[in-house]
Structure formats: structure tokens, C-alpha cells
Amino acid sequence: MFNLDFFLKTKYIKASSLTNAIFVCLIISIFCGCLVLISHYQILVKSRFEIQNELISRNESAFTHFLNNIETIKDDSETVLDIFDDNIFSFAKKKNWGFYSILSCKSVFKNDTVYKTALIGKKSEKNIALYVTDYDKPLKLSGDITFLGDIKVPNSRIEQAYINGVSGNKVKIKGKQLKSQDKLPKIDKEILINLNNYSTETIKNETTVFVNSFSNKTIVINFEELKKLDKATLKGNIILTSNKSITIDNSLAINDILIVAPKVYVKKGFNGNAQIIAKTEVDIEEDVSLTYPSSIYVKNDIDSVNVSIKKNTIIAGGIVINGNTYKGSLKRSLTIAEGSKIIGNVYCYGKTQLKGTIIGSIYSDRFFLKTASSNYENTILNASINRDSLPKSFVELPLFKTNIDKANYEVLKTF
């Protein structure tokens, strides 16, 4: 006998199983699709990661190539290179930045771009600790004196002097003692800043942080337009300038910038990094730290020039006071006080009073000493010049022409 209820129930079960099977298949399909999609994106991410790594490596290679051939790159113009001839191009641009240069390199592949920007300098081959021009006046030493490194002095000899009632001197000289010439070696570097080539930025007084990348255009900030500049941050591709004078307070955070003014004053306790380009006067007060690579540059043949480094101040980089005439040199002076330390190079086409420490070298047309009771010509009292302690990795100021190959450039810092 035909059981209608059983037949209908069986048909219902079969229809329900089909629906469940379709649902399960759909879930499995979605899951498999997700796995395929995840795998695909993993391959894409891995491929992109590998491309980026390759592009970074390519850019490093290109940067090294440009660094080793830096003299073939014109300032403020772009140079293009396909280093492996595979249509991946690298672009380099160089510009002067005080005593040094900024080298920027970027490599491009499709929509990816990798950048590297660095401050670079040229290594020196000279190994002179002290150079004094020979005007037929002997160099006199008094007190506690240490010279480590070769020296060039008038008639290749020194004399001892007894100043302020000192009964005996403690003089230590380690290195060759050679005869100097009747003029200072001419330096190869001249810093020229044409502010008309840069855009000018007006900073509101409430602005506290101003950072400009070296991949951007240089910005000039006029110090005279600011009623007050303290507790602010200035960093990077910035020139701080004034037609009169600039005072750097110890509350300022300054890094990598150029400071251009006739007169520059740095207040007691300041700590930062800058290249100072002045015309007549630079006064660095006590307990100041100008970190590497900082420098002071003054060139003037008309006005009197006075650069003063007060007690317990450290400058890592160097100081250059220069001019074109001997007559102008008679009005140029540098004073390095006791307890102060200059790491790097000092060049003074003028007269220098040295009572502090030089880790590196000093070239001076002549020396002087001023005490409470008298003035002395070509005399050094209680000073140290130590060329031997200057680290081999230290990139000095590019003062003189060298015979070394053009690949002898180094990166001072990357940005």
C-alpha cells in the first residue's frame, strides 16, 4: 500500500539536504577565495617589499657613485644616472651649505621613490698642528705648553718667555719643527651667500617650531622682523639673517642652519649646531657648546674684525678669519680664552690670542698676548695644540687644495 506521508517526508528531506549542500559549498568557496586573495596580497606585499629593498640598495649605490664623483656635479643642477642600465634612474643634486655641501639622491621605479640626503665634506691631507707666518719674529712660549704634531714657525725655532713672574715653564713639543713661509697658506674655500637667490619666510611671534627639509627650497628668515626669538626651534634648510646683528639665546634649539649677519652674539649656556657667517664681530659667551659640524667664518679687509671665544666653550668644526690684504689683517683678531676648546681647524689671517685648547690645527699670521700689565707679540701662554688626538674619521674644514683623489669625500651626517 502506497504511504503518501512517507513519500512526502522523504522528498522534504532530500530538498533540505540540497539546500544545506549548496550553503556548505558557498562557505567553502568563500573561504577558498579568501585564501587565494590573501596569498595574492602576500605575494604583492612581498614583491613590493623586495622592490623597495632593491630600490633602497640601488639608491645607496647611486649615492656612493655620486659622492665619489662629486666634483663632476654642478651646484644647483640635477644629474641623472642609470647605474645598472636597467631603466631605473637615480637623480642627484648638490648645493653649497657653508663650508660643506648638501648631496641629495633619489631613485625612482614606477610609483616608488627613495631619497637620501646628507651633509658632506672633503677630508684633509695636511698634518700640521701649528703654523705661524715668518715675519722674522720668533714664537715665544710661556707657562704650560703642549704641542703634539708637526709645527711650522719662524726660522723653525721657538723661544721661552717668563711672564707674570713665572720662574719656570713646562713645554712639551712632539713632532717635527719646521720653518714657515712669509705668508699663510692660501685657503681654497670662500663662502658666498646671495640671499636674493632664496625665498623669504615671515615667522609669527607665536611660532615655536620651524623645520625645513633639505629636499625643499632654502628659506630665509629675517631676524629683524622678529620682536623676540626665544624658546623656538629652527632646524634644517634655513638661513637666519639680519642686516645688523643676531643674538642667539640659550633657550633656542638650533640645528644645521646658517646664521648670516654682520655681528653675531651667542649667549651663555647655548647648546646647538650652526654655521655662523659674519662680517665684523662674533662673540661666543661662556659655557657654550657648538656641536659638530659648527663653524665661524669672517672675511673682511675694510672693517675691524673681532672674534671672541669665552671660557669653557666648545666648538666642534672650526673657525676661519680671512681677508685678501696684509693691511686688513692688522685689524683682524681672534681670542680663545682659557678653558675653551676648538675641535677641528682654526685659520686666522690676523692675530690670535690662544689660552685654550686646539684638538686639530691652527694657522695664524701671528700671535699676541695681553695681560693686566703688558702686551706681548708672538707669544703663547698656557695653551695646548693636539693634532694627534683628532679622530681619523673627523672631516675637517675644506681649507686647502689637496693632491688626494676626488673620492676622498665623507658623509658628516644624514638627514
Question: What does the pLDDT look like over 103-157, one tens digit per residue?
Answer: 999 998 887 888 899 999 887 766 799 999 999 999 999 999 999 999 999 999 8
Provide the pLDDT confidence category of residue 246 given band limits of 50, 70 and 90: very high
Whether the CB-CB separation of 208 and 233 falls below 8 Å is answered with yes
pTM: 0.85
State the average pLDDT over residues 261-276. Answer: 96
For strands 89-97 and 100-109, give the pairing: antiparallel
Same domain membership, residue 135 and residue 118: no
Q: What value does the mean pLDDT take over residues 192-221?
A: 80
pLDDT of residue 231: 77
65: pLDDT strictly greater than 80:
yes
Q: How confident is the model at residue 27 (pLDDT cuts 50, 70, 90)?
A: confident
Pair (108, 140) in one structural domain: no
| pLDDT at position 412 over 70 | yes
405 confidence band (pLDDT: 50, 70, 90): very low
**Percent of all residues in the chain with a pLDDT value above 70, rounded to a whole number:** 87
Average pLDDT, the chain: 86
3 state SS of 61:
helix
192 and 296, same structural domain?
A: yes
CB 124 within 8 A of CB 400: yes
Cell (9 digits) for 265:
652674539
In a domain, 415, yes or no: no
From the CB of residue 229, how many other CB atoms can be counted at a distance below 10 Å? 20
Q: Is residue 405 part of a domain?
A: no
Residue 77 pLDDT more than 90?
A: no
How far apart CA 284 and CA 281 sit, in angstroms, is 10
**Residue 346, number of CB atoms within 10 A of its CB:** 26
Of the pLDDT bands very low, low, confident and very high (cuts 50, 70, 90), residue 7 is: very low
Residue with cell 633639505: 214
Q: Pick from 67, 102, 122: which residue ends a domain? A: 122
In the sheet with 409-414, reading across from the earlier edge strand, the strands are 78-81, 89-97, 100-109, 112-122, 409-414
Site of grid cell 697658506 = 185
Query: Residue 71: inside a domain, yes or no?
Result: yes
Candidate from 105-119, 210-224, 227-241 with smallest mean pLDDT: 227-241
For the cut 90, the answer to whether the pLDDT of residue 382 exceeds it is yes
- Decide if 409 is inside a domain: no
Expressed as residue numbers, the domain containing 80 is 4-122
The last residue of a domain, from among 98, 122, 146: 122
**The last residue of a domain, from among 69, 99, 122:** 122
Residues 98 and 232 in one domain: no
Determine the average pLDDT of the residues in 53-82: 86
Ranges assigned E (strand) in 310-371: 314-322, 332-336, 341-354, 357-370
Q: Which amino acid is at 34?
A: C
Question: What does the pLDDT average to over 231-242?
Answer: 90
Distance of CA 31 to the CA centre of its chain: 57
| pLDDT at residue number 51 | 64
* Amino acid 8: pLDDT: 47
Q: Distance between CA atoms of 340 and 351, rounded to whole angstroms?
A: 18
- Same domain for 328 and 379, yes or no, is yes
pLDDT for position 202: 65
CB 51 within 8 A of CB 109: yes
376 with 314, same domain: the answer is yes
Whether residues 92 and 157 share a domain: the answer is no
pLDDT score of 327 more than 50 = yes
pLDDT at residue number 227: 55
H or E stretch covering 101: strand 100-109
Per the structure, the count of domains in the chain is 2
Cα–Cα distance for residue pair 37/17, rounded to 1 Å: 30
Residues 241 and 374 both lie in one domain: yes
b/e map 253-268, b = 16+ CB within 10 Å: ebebbbbbbbbbbbbe
Cβ neighbourhood burial of 320 (10 Å; 0-12, 13-18, 19+)? buried
189 three-class SS? coil
Q: Examine the pLDDT at 15 and tell me if it is beyond 60.
A: no
Average pLDDT estimate for 46-59 = 72
pLDDT tier, 209 (very low <50, low <70, confident <90, very high otherwise): confident
Q: How far apart are CA 175 and CA 128, in angstroms?
A: 9
